[in-house]
Amino acid sequence: MKTFKFILGWLIPIAIAIALSLVIKTYLFQLVRVDGLSMYPNLQNNEWVMLFKQSKIKHDSVIVFDADGVDPSAKKDAKYVKRVIAMPGDTVEYKDNGDLYINGKFSSQSYISKEQQQKGTLTLELPATSQFTLGSGHKFTVPKDEYLVLGDNRANSNDSRYYGFVPKKKILGVVKVFFWNSKRQIINSYDAN
């Protein structure tokens, strides 16, 4: 009987800890590893970030989404890290000089260089999506429950320019970086609009 109580004394706390960690990972937050250079220089390849599942998505938030079913070239269970450029219902115009206007208001995109804003964004390496066109004279509206997302390293990012809008149901959460990351303000609390 003593052995049974001793074993239960260890098993119950372990079971509670496992259950608690599963609840936290499923509903609150988890660690995610950045894979690739699409968010460089603001996020590095192989950098670990926190994914907050209950955070509010806003303009310029960095998010993680399930790419399976969004990007036809994505592997099963692929997760992409990208920046939200436009929200559902936003009217977008991305001019030839790299200037971005959301609902008629200029968006500075100061988290990337002017070269990435212009050449990196408008010079496409793959066939463009048929959902919208970037460049002067082209405006489009983001559909309900969908988002326009781009990588910060636009010249090296597979993003909405190629596969279109990301449905809200595919978004897993908002990225936050640790305090030692020198780009933490650009990721954690960026709000230039």
Residue 73 annotated as catalytic: no
Q: CB under 8 Å, gap of 24 or more: what pairs does 114-119 form? A: 116/152, 116/153, 116/154, 116/155, 117/154, 119/155
Which one from 2, 5, 25, 38 is the annotated catalytic residue? Answer: 38
Q: Chain-centre distance of CA 102, in angstroms? A: 18
Which one from 53, 75, 79, 82 is the annotated catalytic residue? Answer: 82
Q: CB under 8 Å, gap of 24 or more: what pairs does 100-103 form? A: 102/59, 102/193
Residue 38 annotated as catalytic: yes
φ, ψ (nearest 5 deg) of residue 95: -80, 160
**Which residues belong to the active site?**
38, 82
